[in-house]
Structure 1
């Protein structure tokens, strides 16, 4: 049995995805933690206390705990401001344990946890989930550094951590080329999907009986390309045009962004067809996806794109941007449509094609479900364990 610490400084994995700064990372960490505990290991998730009402520890299951530590104010703060609390969080983390391995998620967590791991002579594993870009990189659109020390911090973590976990081959290449990570220490661990929760609708044999709406599920920020989703739906001919349901909310960093999107929908004449429903529970999101005609993922950059996998399990066709790991989450022409273009007309054409061609939509949806059924959280956790156990011997202090 391993004693595993999963560190998530800036957001609790128990928070509802789509609320505040909670997103795909939260889903990955929580489900991998549950699967690791189910495999017989002792798992503790450590996060910053962002509310005064949170207890010190919440038991999430047998051998699985969520621990809140005091670092900074006991209320939500903008994501980029968490750099201020790294040292205090690291001090609190040093008082916890014992652990056999510390696995940090996001660079804030790694900056706090790596010194603790070194002091204890135990392995430190780093997952980034997103990686900063400077203005000279081709992925800089919507992907600026979130706080002053991020780019230097991520490079340091890539050099000094004992193992680096990437969620996709695309992220692995970014870790190597942008951060200088050693390929020998990078392992791609694909996410899973709960195929029992995200299931097809009873009427999935025909798109004509689905509800006539498209879904975007994401944190509401420019990086996610929600303006393109609105422009694309507006460009679909009125006789085919679906409503657009937007699941998620803006974090403190992007206050007012929903108003911007609402004004865009009004400008394009589809204000009544765009519905902002806020963040959804996992059960509500599963129901929303399975009833949809199509799922849109127009992000400028994604390390993977979990929503694409959840849509696949729901047997719903996806139109996705050819960015980062989305090329791996969606197999173009097999499980969905992947577009290199960000031209709304090209997106509108793809949406219209799926809405008007039941045969193509059904074929993509069927193969998408088959693909999703191959990916489980247990499989993902086993891949993580192979990395952890490979680092089981004590790490020498540098």
Structure 2
């Protein structure tokens, strides 16, 4: 299969940059021909058919802010469209944000185009996050999920032109269908986990205090406040530990200060070695209220760390088999889960072993197989649309 991957950010950087890099790498490993257009490249991509950097001059990267973010996104889209015009491909894979120039060109040429949805539909995400902030009485700090009319206009132009939307979780798929997308245009796939050099072992049934870890940005959207409240309401907090790995937004940290000062809570800050933090814990806590499909839920299983996550986290796992799920904001359910596993180490050991075994299914190579199936569905849809037009 010949693929054009358009990524208007820096490929290989933490977050979505890592996700997009692994997608391209998994396709290349499966002998697909991949042409990449990215704003910049932080990590080489051996085997790519071609790599074009859209925001570079004389070998140096041009920051988005130097052009203005919206102008930078439009310029990237223009470059990607020009690459498409001279490159025969079967499918175009677009990542947000772009004003839809490449998507429209693909549609006009009868080429399938899919657009990644790393989070729920933007209107849904804004609504959910705004409601959480209001409920907290929180002085909002601007984040990627703050209302932005210009970005919404870009997104809607692109979404209107593509063959389908790539949804990495049921929560994402449901949000797009609720926003009016035809179900056949919402294509399910999933993300993956990178292999770790760290040896992973299942947790034992020995009696010892429960060790919980939260990994990620501390912000209302991720629900850290729900996790802390559930932890402090549980008996596990009497002798266990709740470690926070990641930066906490300043105003949010001030809001949570009383909970953060509890003797059982440890604020570790940002860490490069996330696997070490997961290996040192029994359970991963991610009570997020809005998400796409959090990579840390994949990584946790690879370390035998049992996910205690909300249904909004987009975790690829079976409830009660590889981890435990709760509804977003359901503090009582999460409290019961802490108590349950703190009291029953045998169940914790069973869940940990099952999660570790399941991690074999969560590789990026397996994710690539799901991605190719989604591509094929889009190609078939585009072919059918061409036949109808004729």
- Length-normalised TM-score, structure 2: 0.78
Figure out how many residues of one structure are paired with residues of the other and give that number.
Answer: 364
- How far did 1:128 drift? 1.5
- How far did 1:123 drift? 2.5
Going from structure 1 to structure 2, the CA distance change for 1:363 and 1:159 (only over 3 Å counts) comes to same
- In structure 2, the residue matched to 1:254 is none
**2:155 equivalent to 1:166:** no
Does the aligned pair in 2 maintain the 1:199–1:313 contact within 8 Å?
Answer: no
Going from structure 1 to structure 2, the CA distance change for 1:214 and 1:45 (only over 3 Å counts) comes to farther
Per-residue CA deviations over 1:227-283 (Å, capped at 9, x if unaligned) read: 223333333445333131323x46xxxxxx145325523455327832242152xxx
Greater helix fraction, Structure 1 or Structure 2: 2
- How far did 1:314 drift? 1.6
Match of 1:366 among 353, 358, 373: 353
**2:86 equivalent to 1:62:** no
Match of 1:29 among 8, 20, 23: 20
CA distance in 2, matches of 1:203, 1:339: 23
Does the aligned pair in 2 maintain the 1:312–1:369 contact within 8 Å?
Answer: yes
* C-alpha RMSD over aligned residues: 3.6
- Length-normalised TM-score, structure 1: 0.77
Match of 1:312 among 292, 298, 301: 301
CA distance in 2, matches of 1:71, 1:119: 28
- In structure 1, the residue matched to 2:95 is 105
Note the residue ranges of structure 1 that are not aligned, 5 or more in a row. Answer: 17-21, 251-256
- How far did 1:371 drift? 2.8
SS at structure 1 position matched to 2:325: strand
**2:262 equivalent to 1:275:** no
CA distance in 2, matches of 1:71, 1:61: 20
Match of 1:117 among 81, 106, 111: 106
Which residues of 2 match residues 1-398 of structure 1 at below 5 A?
A: 1-2=1-2, 4-9=3-8, 11-16=9-14, 22=15, 25-49=16-40, 59-63=44-48, 67-70=52-55, 74-75=62-63, 82-96=69-83, 98-100=87-89, 101-106=91-96, 108-109=97-98, 111-118=100-107, 121-130=110-119, 131-133=121-123, 141=131, 146-178=147-179, 180-194=180-194, 196-197=195-196, 201-202=200-201, 204-206=203-205, 208=207, 213-237=211-235, 238-247=237-246, 249=247, 257-258=249-250, 260-261=252-253, 264-266=256-258, 269-270=261-262, 273-280=265-272, 284-323=273-312, 325-326=314-315, 329-340=316-327, 342=329, 344=331, 346-389=333-376, 391=379
CA distance in 2, matches of 1:216, 1:231: 13
SS at structure 2 position matched to 1:331: coil
- How far did 1:103 drift? 0.4
